[in-house]
Amino acid sequence: MPRPMFDELTDDEVEEATEPAALNGHGRPSVVSLREMIAREREAELDVLGLRLRVRYDPSLVSDATDRRIQQLSRSGDELAAPRVFCQIVKAWDLHGPLTAIVDETDEEGNVLFDDDGNPLEREEIIVPEGQVIPLRPDVIQHLPSEVFLAIWVALREDAYGVPTNRRSRRQSRRR
């Protein structure tokens, strides 16, 4: 039977684990949970496209499994999979607008309007005005330019893992 996590131990087990003979020499119990090892949130300054972006995020959610989950959800038709997972990971940031998007023109009933050639009429819409922090909501994050979104994602992975990702390292080495 697997051993329970530290915070799930009985009082007697905690007392036994914290006796001087059981301590690991650093005043810490010899029983440590993974939850204690992984910070639930980290503040970081990320280098994103040559600029500094301050973020607070949950590094325990940055993993290859998370990448696979996004891919699976996207393949199943969830267009907001990546922005939704991104917003679960990133808790706060200092990225400011303006953020705009090209949207279809619609009538009062929500039907898309078309020109004489059958092309949808489009207009640029301000999603977040200049100077305002871009909200961490999937319906907003989906409008970030792909280059910016991917650069932030790579920078988060590098910070969480403590090393540059292979893809970015190869790109940088080719430029030298």
Rg of the chain, C-alpha, whole Å: 23
Domain ranges of the chain: 1-37, 39-95+133-175
Helix (H), strand (E) at residue 55: strand 51-57
Report, as an integer, the average pLDDT of 44-61. Answer: 93
DSSP type of residue 120? B
Alpha-carbon span 16 to 6, nearest angstrom? 12
| pLDDT confidence tier of residue 156, bands split at 50, 70 and 90 | very high
Q: Which residue has the higher pLDDT, 6 or 132?
A: 132
Q: In whole angstroms, how far apart are CA 12 and each of 9, 21, 52, 152?
A: 8, 15, 49, 46
pLDDT of amino acid 38: 61
Rounded Cα–Cα distance for residues 112 and 95 (Å):
32
Q: What pLDDT sits at residue 92?
A: 96
Cβ atoms of 94 and 131 within 8 Å: the answer is no
Span 83-123, pLDDT tens digits: 999 999 999 999 999 999 999 999 999 999 999 999 999 99
At 173, the pLDDT band (50, 70, 90 cuts) reads: very low
